[in-house]
Structure 1
Amino acid sequence: MSAPVPLEGIRGDLTCKAPLAKLVWFKSGGQADWLFEPADLADLRLFIERLGGQLPVMALGLGSNLIIRDGGVPGIVVRLGKAFAGVEAGEGSTLTCGAGAPGILVASTARDNGIAGLEFLRGIPGTVGGFVRMNGGAYGSEVADVLETCEVILPGGEMVTLPVGDLGYSYRHSDLPDGAIVVSARFRGRPGDPQEIGAEMDRIAEAREQSQPIRTKTGGSTFKNPEGGKAWQLVDAAGCRGMMLGGAQVSEKHTNFLINTGEATSADIEGLGELVREKVYKNSGIMLDWEIQRVGRP
């Protein structure tokens, strides 16, 4: 298959038929038609400009909140590496973060610089790009509370700086268009004591360890909490704790988590999620919405 753009001057790695299962937490799913790992921001912009919107583009971070379907992902998957993982503290209790920076690095840098208010990012298993796109949140806070601006490359290659008010944030949702790639973000916290910030981060880490199956092949919270309720309680009340389909299982530890017990396919995992939704609806009259993103061909 010929490359989707002329490669002269492109310094990153472009791979055809790239396996994606190893790059996502569920460890399942098919290939990307093309996987592009840019050398830096200039390299990414050049690639996207040359692509000119001719193929669909999807950004991939840590792959923690994602089901890659078994038929693979059409078009281009862009994986942002170390060149996009920097975090720098600035004036006024701000942090400027690359889209590839994981939440634990953002929270730790904030702690080291006496910036409070970002501790909750310690509890989200993902990267800044995913947080910004999905208004990620945990432990009573969300990105909409702390984001000032983000830099985004649009499908045609234009790079724009968007204030938080332009993102149309709601619960686990933004109005960013498909194919837009978040490349950096600026967060604002408040002055705080590093020891107190560190203690709160430790509390969050311990709470995750005790309540979530974080040492399994999982994808994080499966369903959005319905208004005024908790998804896990509805799943539990419907009798779904421990339920299995193929190699996929509803976690015994936290019923809003699905687990790949070994050799589950993505169809097993997504199919189990749909069975859970049906059982919850029959039991409560509430149809749960997916929080985990499901992409690609069945």
Structure 2
Amino acid sequence: MSARHACSPLEALLVDSAFDADVYPDEPMRRHTMYRIGGPARFYVQVGSIGALKRLVAACQECAIPWVAVGRGSNLLVSDEGFPGVVIALGRDFRACRFDEETCSFIVGAGVPLSSVVQEAFRRSLSGLEFAVGTPGTVGGAVRMNAGTREQGIADRVVSVTTLSPRSGLVRREAADIQWGYRSSSFAPDEVIVECELAVKPADPYLLRGKMEAAHARRKKTQPLTLPSCGSVFKNPEGSSAGQLIEQVGLKGERVGGAQISEVHANFIVNRDNATAQDVLELINMARSKVYEAYGIELQPEVRFLGFA
């Protein structure tokens, strides 16, 4: 490990055989984003426990090396140059999901795919998570961005969230102590969500199946699910649809390099053919400026950017 890569506390940790993590230097981020786009992270580290996460965050802070925690990279665009710091993924201990009969809730690690919690709820005939059918990210990512539909977000199901930050250590908050917005929450950028509790309720299994099948069919019909994308690129403006606005300014199907504004839904930019992050960024900027010129509406990105100046 060269000196240019890390200062000594971080360097020592990453080569320590007792460090409960898998460490990948210069790891291409295209392997870890649903876009299949992105240059190398200086280090990609999958931590197996809270102890390992604490040690890693502390070492990054001490060395003033930038770090970020990611889920499955479902709403992430990583620059072609990559990220000059540490990308943290949550492994083993963050991938447990148990159901508490007494409280009728799931206690879920932040690294669990949201889709698997939805399936487990369905298996147990429990409702409350049908809106999330087909949502591709992890529970941690879904909670941070209050993922959901126009009508419902995951915040509606959250009972509590446990986070780890360099300033406060481990903190458990009730849902009422968190500010929730449309595709947003009040978690600090350096707060890593590690676990949450989601409330559900018993339901008629046939009714539940019907609701889930309808949600899945709607998603299949209205979204370009066969090509890599980051999901919705922009938040819907108040009382309006980002996809409709982009379509109205004539950009549906527009291509730059290997990226394209989807012909199925204009609020999706798909990786058609080895797109670069720059290709996607050009389409994002084009959509923002054309919609602003035509309607005076500033589209706000829902996608997270990593490694850009």
Check whether TM > 0.5: yes
Give SS of 1:153's match: strand
CA shift for structure 1 position 286: 1.0
Matched, 1:159 2:170: yes
> Distance between the aligned counterparts of 1:157 and 1:78, measured in 2?
19
Give SS of 1:217's match: coil
Where does residue 233 of structure 1 map in the other structure? Answer: 244
CA contact (8 A) 2:60 2:66 kept: no
Where does residue 42 of structure 2 map in the other structure? Answer: 33
Counterpart AA for 1:30: G
Give the total of aligned pairs.
298
**Match for 2:25 among 16, 37, 45?**
16
> Distance between the aligned counterparts of 1:266 and 1:174, measured in 2?
26
CA contact (8 A) 1:60 1:78 kept: yes
CA contact (8 A) 2:133 2:212 kept: yes
Give SS of 1:59's match: strand
CA contact (8 A) 2:60 2:67 kept: no
* Root mean square deviation of aligned Cα: 1.7
Where does residue 65 of structure 2 map in the other structure? Answer: 55
Counterpart AA for 1:80: L
Where does residue 203 of structure 1 map in the other structure? Answer: 214
CA shift for structure 1 position 82: 4.3
Where does residue 12 of structure 2 map in the other structure? Answer: 6
Where does residue 45 of structure 1 map in the other structure? Answer: 54
Give SS of 2:118's match: helix
- After TM superposition, list the pairs within 5 Å mapping 1:1-298 onto structure 2: 1-2=2-3, 3=6, 4-7=10-13, 8=16, 9-52=18-61, 54-90=64-100, 91-138=102-149, 140-156=151-167, 158-298=169-309
CA contact (8 A) 1:133 1:176 kept: yes
Give SS of 2:34's match: coil
Give SS of 2:72's match: coil
CA contact (8 A) 1:223 1:256 kept: yes
> Distance between the aligned counterparts of 1:36 and 1:252, measured in 2?
37
CA shift for structure 1 position 240: 0.6
When normalised by structure 2's length, the TM-score is 0.91
CA shift for structure 1 position 95: 0.7
CA shift for structure 1 position 267: 0.8
CA contact (8 A) 1:148 1:163 kept: yes
> Distance between the aligned counterparts of 1:293 and 1:147, measured in 2?
22
CA shift for structure 1 position 235: 0.8
> Distance between the aligned counterparts of 1:265 and 1:187, measured in 2?
37
CA shift for structure 1 position 219: 0.9
Identical-pair percentage: 33
Stretch moving more, 3-12 or 127-136: 3-12
Unaligned runs of 5+ in 1: none
Stretch moving more, 23-32 or 189-198: 189-198
CA shift for structure 1 position 233: 0.8
CA contact (8 A) 1:5 1:47 kept: no
Unaligned runs of 5+ in 2: none
Counterpart AA for 2:137: G
CA contact (8 A) 2:69 2:87 kept: yes
CA shift for structure 1 position 270: 1.2
> Distance between the aligned counterparts of 1:262 and 1:143, measured in 2?
33
When normalised by structure 1's length, the TM-score is 0.94
CA shift for structure 1 position 247: 1.4
CA shift for structure 1 position 139: 5.8
